[in-house]
Amino acid sequence: MDSLITVWNALPFIVGGSLVTIATVCIALGMGLVFGVPLAVGQVYGSPVVQRLVGLYVWFFRGVPILVLLFLFFGLFVGLGLPVEPFLVSCVVLGLTSTAYQSQIFRGAIQSLPQGQLKAARALGMSDGAAIRSIILPQALRLSIPGWANEFSILLKDSAICYVLGTQEIMARTNFVAARTHEHLALFAAAGLLYCLITMVGLYLLRRLENKTHIPGYSTGMN
Amino acid sequence: MMQNTENVLRIHEISKNLGGKAILKSCSLDVARGELKVLIGPSGAGKSTLLQCINCLIQPDSGEIWLNGQQLRRHDKKELCAFRTQVGMIFQDFNLFDHLTAEANVAVALRKVKGMNRHDALQRAREELGRVGLARRAALYPAQLSGGQKQRVAIARALAMDPTVILLDEPTSALDPELVGEVLAVIRDLARGGMTMVMATHQMDFARALATEILFMEQGVIIERGTPDALLAAGAGTRTQAFFTRLQDMGDESAS
Amino acid sequence: MIDTAFYMQEVLPALNKGLLISLALIVPAGIIGFVCGVALGVIRVFGGALPRKLGDWYTSLIRGVPLAVQLMMVYYALPHCGIYFDPYGAALLSFILCSAAYHSEYIRGALLSISQGQVRAAQALGMTMAQTVLWIIVPQAARRALPGCGNEIIYLIKYSSLAYLVTCMELMGEGKVLASDTFRYMEVFLAVGAYYLAMVTVATWILRWLEQHYAIPGFGSR
Ligand SMILES: Nc1ncnc2c1ncn2[C@@H]1O[C@H](COP(=O)(O)OP(=O)(O)O)[C@@H](O)[C@H]1O
Ligand SMILES: [Mg+2]
């Protein structure tokens, strides 16, 4: 009973942290989208050097744990004399990592399109750039939505690690209250449920997005 | 009741309900050694269900199944497995094991069910593949074979078990038209070699030429049976003949 | 520019010590997690209605909650129920519970991808259900699940760093202590990152070799 009261009292504080969590995830997702698409295009259509460089980037950010990257970038920010704002560092680390993962989602989607699409666009006299922008990407991005949904739920879970820098998100606040009240069980159970809830809402919204952008005969297998 | 020992396979009053609907209603069928029984009828008539009830891939609700004068106790798992080794089955969509080469597809049951050693099983498999004209494709995987070749591997796989009778469920329906011939040729050779078979098919010319008896099925009932000559004679006025004519018209239409 | 002495005398000895603990987490968690994942996946496909439902719930729960929260539960919360773990045990248990759920997802998908027709064909040849599972279903499902499960092992290697959160002194923990002592975060964590990169890269090679070695023409590229 006591633990329930503790949780109840701490709930506004912890739920407030979900705003920080959601902000982090949204910024990182957006960053991954903005940088991931050009990386994917570069890896598929770029020169060998470009392909190499993208491959190197992906290899690094998919091979090093988030936790290590957080401290590494913490050190980097200090070394460069930048303001060490935990929220900022978290967003940068998650964003760069997500860029690597998202580029691979988009690359897979681009490569799954039939070869004939690009040829047909060229045959109509489009430049390669125009063909990629107006023919390839609109299809590839649609095909990427399920992979994107998956990336969202992974990012959400990864964002919990950012509390080590002191970002005031769900996990940090739960830890803070738990350390004072010693109600770890109830508090972390509540935090876990909160994460589940955010995942479900996020996936629901993405499914809506998928239905909205649905084209007859085009299946992404998410439903 | 005395069993006619000439009857290799005897199906007696098999019924089956699925999803609250009677799919098979008291179907009976006697097959003597060396006979080729052909099941025809519109799609959805219950041909596949009947064939799969014969080797209990679909357990019939009631009825008897006899093989070589012995009634199958179809809920005895061990007896059922032994029964199935004697009853070969060819499926419409081949159902080759995707992870095994052609020869391994044929050999796997020889090894695991009949307990043959690897060497003997593979040797036997190659012989059977040779019989269906695929000796040179033995090391290829299903994905590397054409539809006709896949179906011939499936036939070799069934033959390797030395079955008493083979059930064929529309073996050429999933094939491109130009590949139908090679499979029918193999089945024709089997029929001429005296293999006992029950086959569902829409290949009417084949049925007319080779069937010892044609059974016409509709809505889970065998409504007509007789020799091809009797059922398909000009002016016989049978359902079989009407069906035959309709199939032929459709064939002519798509040809023109 | 690069402080070789610092690396040789302080960073590498500390990290090597941590690496051993990391491996002591990753290897058993990988093996046991996979075995449990296979069991869970089989239950979720072939089990009775209730075990299947429980398995599905367990999997969605684990997949919906961050591993960091799970670790906190095992290390800080279970003691309230009278169950105690040392940091290593807590980390190992969390990793097993977590990767079993993720593995089961791939196993389940692989099992479901085997066509019903092949099962029928096997039975028509007189195989028992056990023989069918052993010789027809498992060899195919294993190949289908290999890429996903392999990925899961890669994730395990990276997320083993979270053991530091419950004060288990593995690679990450050793690195953090050293970085805090010397306040040379960049240098230390570049080295830590290199260790993880090396582990992940080697694991990737092994998995790629396995995939190619067991590849079948036209199989898996559904
Ligand atoms: N599992 C099932 N549940 C309900 N109805 C089924 C099932 N399987 C087949 N049927 C029905 O049984 C009928 C006969 O099917 P089938 O034996 O495949 O016919 P055929 O092979 O002659 O085309 C069809 O109407 C089909 O819809
Ligand atoms: Mg049929």
Domain that holds residue C71: 4-213
pLDDT at B3 over 50: no
C102 touches chain A (CB under 8 A): no
Residue B1 resides in a domain? no
| Confidence (pTM) | 0.84
The better pLDDT of the pair C59, C3 is held by C59
What is the residue range of B130's domain? 7-255
- Please report whether residue C220 resides in a domain: no
Task: Report ipTM (2 d.p.).
Answer: 0.90
Strand-pairing partners, residue B39, are: B200, B215
Determine the distance from the C-alpha atom of residue B82 to the mean position of all C-alpha atoms in its chain, rounded to a whole number: 18
Is residue B243 less than 8 Å (CB to CB) from chain C? Answer: no
Residue C188 belongs to domain with CATH number: 1.10.3720.10
Q: How far apart are CA C160 and CA C164, in angstroms?
A: 8
Helix (H) or strand (E) holding C197: helix C185-213
Domains located in chain A, CATH noted? 20-167 (1.10.3720.10)
Nearest to C125 among B98, B113, B141 (CB): B113
B89 bridge partner residues: B167
CA distance B154 to B90: 6
Q: Give which of C111, C125, C129 to mutate to test B binding, by max B Cβ within 10 Å.
A: C125
Q: What are phi and psi of B10, to 5 degrees?
A: -135, 120
Q: Do chains C and A touch (3 or more CB pairs under 8 A)?
A: yes
- Residues 72-111 (B) with a CB less than 8 A from some CB of C: 77, 81-85, 87-89, 91, 93-99, 108-109
Q: Scanning every residue of chain C, which has its alpha carbon at the shortest distance from the alpha carbon of B162?
A: C125
Position B2 in a domain:
no
- The set of residues, in sequence order, having a beta carbon less than 8 Å from that of B170 and lying 6+ positions away, is B47, B48, B92, B200, B201, B202
Supply the CATH number for residue B68's domain: 3.40.50.300
Query: What's the half-sphere exposure (Cβ side, CA atoms, 13 Å) at C135?
Result: 22
Each residue of C167-209: pLDDT tens digit?
999 999 999 999 999 988 899 999 999 999 999 999 999 999 9
From first to last of its 223 residues, chain A has per-residue pLDDT tens of: 677 888 888 889 999 999 999 999 999 999 999 999 999 999 999 999 999 999 999 999 999 999 999 999 999 999 898 888 999 999 999 999 999 999 999 999 999 888 778 888 888 878 888 888 888 888 888 889 889 999 999 999 999 999 999 999 999 999 999 989 888 888 999 999 999 999 999 989 988 888 887 776 555 444 3
Contacts within 8 Å (CB) and 24+ apart, C126-135? C126/B81, C126/B82, C126/B83, C126/B84, C126/B85, C126/B109, C126/B113, C126/B161, C127/B81, C127/B109, C127/B112, C127/B113, C128/B77, C128/B81, C131/B112, C131/B113, C135/B108, C135/B112
Percent share of chain B, pLDDT over 90: 83
Q: Does any domain span residue B119?
A: yes
Q: Of the candidates A59, A63, A222, which has an alpha carbon nearest to the alpha carbon of residue A152?
A: A222
Q: How many domains does chain C have?
A: 1
Question: Which tokens go with C166?
Answer: 């419950």
C221 inside domain: no
Instruction: Tell me the two tokens of residue A40.
Output: 């994917």
How many domains are contained in chain B? 1
| CA distance linking residue C101 with residue A154, whole number of Å | 15
Nearest 5°: the CA angle A115, A214, A101 is: 65
d(CA B22, CA B48): 14
Contact A29, A155 (CB under 8 A): yes
- The rounded distance, in Å, linking the Cα atoms of C200 and C209 is 14
Number of residues assigned to chain C: 222
Residue B73, CA distances (Å) to B31, B58, B79, C127, C163 in order? 19, 14, 7, 17, 59
* Average pLDDT over chain C, rounded to an integer: 92
CA distance A29 to A24: 8
List B172's β-bridge partners, or say none: none
Decide if C184 is inside a domain: yes
Considering every ligand atom, which ligand is closest to the CA of B57? 1
Show the tokens assigned to B127.
Answer: 């012989």
